[in-house]
A = this chain, B = another copy of it.
Amino acid sequence: MGDLGRRARAAARLIALAPATKRDAALVAMAAALCANAAEILAANALDIADAKANGQNAAFIDRLLLDQARLDGVAEAVASVAALPDPVGRVLASWTQPNGLRFERVATPLGVIAVIFESRPNVTADAGALCLKSGNAAILRAGSDSFRTSSAIAAALRQGLEAAGLPADAIQLVPTRDRAAVGEILKGLDGHVDVVVPRGGKSLVARVQSDARVPVFAHLDGNCHVYVHASADLAMAREITLNAKLRRTGVCGAAETLLVDEACAATHLAPLVTALLDAGCAVRGDAATQELDARVTPATEQDWATEFLDRIIAVKLVAGLDAAIDHIERYGSHHTEAIVADDAAAARRFLAEVDSAIVLHNASTQFADGGEFGFGAEIGIATGRMHARGPVGVEQLCSFKYRVHGDGQIRS
């Protein structure tokens, strides 16, 4: 690891004080360098792909790892698009004046050094580097060993872009080794030179980071999201939202995993919802009432209520009203994203108030759990902690703040 942390800290100070125009110019130059270095990047990727195949990785893994010209163009475009976001640094978040004339401002500042630990998707190198730079932070990127050559080639292009704009290349550093011990060192904070760790990858990676990190972590472990169909729900809306929440993309953290249907509308709503799911090719694991509806429904186990399937599988349960729905979510949920479908405004208000999740929706799909859909631009992930970043983590959430106080000689009595 050498002096990676110390170099990141030194670069962070320069990046934090660089004007937005310079950071944006660097993002544009980084995008251009990704295009200019396409041959090197694709050649590195071909070597990573050959190794992955030789190691017997499956098709889904290979697909996540693969870059071609079109995908690389997309990566470059994503970096350039970050330049177009509003500058999150220096925003005055609040300001007020005290009776003694002191004027207070709460102002957004960069966090400092952000370490991003990811697995096989090489585009994360560019996305994470761009978001950290936009928010005035230095980035330490740890690529999965399978994408190491691709990520190294991408990081080299990003560093060219930084230098072309007159910013220190060390604002984006890729950990220069596949050695697994490096992750442990990062999680310990590199002697105080890492301010936050962002894991990007599967549950085992996130679990390890959450368990071992001695610095703050922006992440979620599970996205066990719920759709609750209240007695007052419009059936057509409930069907559309349920199908979309479960099936639009099953591998995203905002995908619904459990459908709760209120007993009070079971007679009218349960069968159409379950049939629609089954007909759309979704496996249904149901409670007793649900099993009676259709021979294709299999029994739900206790474990199913707590499972993030990330697949075409959903657990379905009848609940005895709003309180029972909230209790179920409280017991089995992961505080990520939950939706209520209801015409009854009071029921919706209670659900949004009482469900303790980062994102709660009324009459909308859980798949809106995404920084882009929130209007944040790109996101580095979704967090379910209660501190600092919660929900989608975009460039604003990659900032801290300070208080600026303006006086004209005030002393304290």
Cα–Cα, bound, A244→B244 (Å): 63
A58-66, A282-290, A300-308, A356-364: which lies at the B interface? A356-364
Q: Give the Cβ gap from A363 to chain B, nearest Cβ, in Å.
A: 4
Flag whether A112 is at the interface (Cβ < 8 A).
yes
Q: Which of B13, B196, B237, B407 contacts A387 (CB 8 A)?
A: B196
Cα–Cα, bound, A112→B385 (Å): 11
Which chain B residues border A390 with CB–CB below 8 Å? Answer: 400-402
Q: Are B244 and A412 in contact (CB-based, < 8 A)?
A: yes
Flag whether A3 is at the interface (Cβ < 8 A).
no
Question: Given A98-B373, A375-B98, A411-B367, A403 and B237 touching (CB < 8 A)?
Answer: no
Q: Are A386 and B237 in contact (CB-based, < 8 A)?
A: no
- Interface majority SS on A: helix, strand, loop or mixed? mixed
Which chain B residues border A216 with CB–CB below 8 Å? Answer: 216, 387
Q: How many copies does the complex hold?
A: 2
Cα–Cα, bound, A123→B354 (Å): 33
Chain A residues numbered 378-413 whose CB sits less than 8 Å from any CB in chain B: 386-388, 390-391, 400-412
Question: Given A352-B404, A353-B17, A390-B401, A241 and B375 touching (CB < 8 A)?
Answer: no
Q: Are A403 and B374 in contact (CB-based, < 8 A)?
A: yes
Q: Give the Cβ gap from A219 to chain B, nearest Cβ, in Å.
A: 14
Flag whether A309 is at the interface (Cβ < 8 A).
no
Q: Are B17 and A354 in contact (CB-based, < 8 A)?
A: yes
Which chain B residues border A234 with CB–CB below 8 Å? Answer: 409
Flag whether A258 is at the interface (Cβ < 8 A).
no
Q: Give the Cβ gap from A139 to chain B, nearest Cβ, in Å.
A: 15
In this complex, the interface size class of chain A, counting residues with CB under 8 Å from chain B, is 35 or more
Cα–Cα, bound, A177→B317 (Å): 44
User: Whose C-beta in chain B lies nearest to the C-beta of A252?
Assistant: B412
Q: Are B96 and A364 in contact (CB-based, < 8 A)?
A: no
Chain A residues numbered 8-54 whose CB sits less than 8 Å from any CB in chain B: 13, 16-17
Cα–Cα, bound, A411→B237 (Å): 9
Cα–Cα, bound, A19→B351 (Å): 16
Q: Give the Cβ gap from A46 to chain B, nearest Cβ, in Å.
A: 34
Cα–Cα, bound, A354→B110 (Å): 12
Flag whether A104 is at the interface (Cβ < 8 A).
yes
Flag whether A365 is at the interface (Cβ < 8 A).
yes
Which chain B residues border A237 with CB–CB below 8 Å? Answer: 409
Q: Give the Cβ gap from A352 to chain B, nearest Cβ, in Å.
A: 5
Known: A367-B412, A388-B388. 13 other contacts (CB 8 A): A13-B356, A96-B375, A98-B375, A102-B368, A196-B386, A241-B409, A362-B404, A363-B410, A364-B411, A368-B405, A387-B388, A390-B400, A390-B402
User: Would you mind naming 22 contact pairs between A and B with Cβ atoms under 8 Å apart?
Assistant: A17-B353, A98-B374, A102-B364, A104-B375, A112-B386, A196-B387, A216-B387, A356-B402, A359-B405, A360-B403, A362-B404, A362-B406, A363-B406, A363-B407, A363-B408, A363-B409, A364-B410, A365-B410, A370-B412, A387-B400, A390-B400, A391-B402
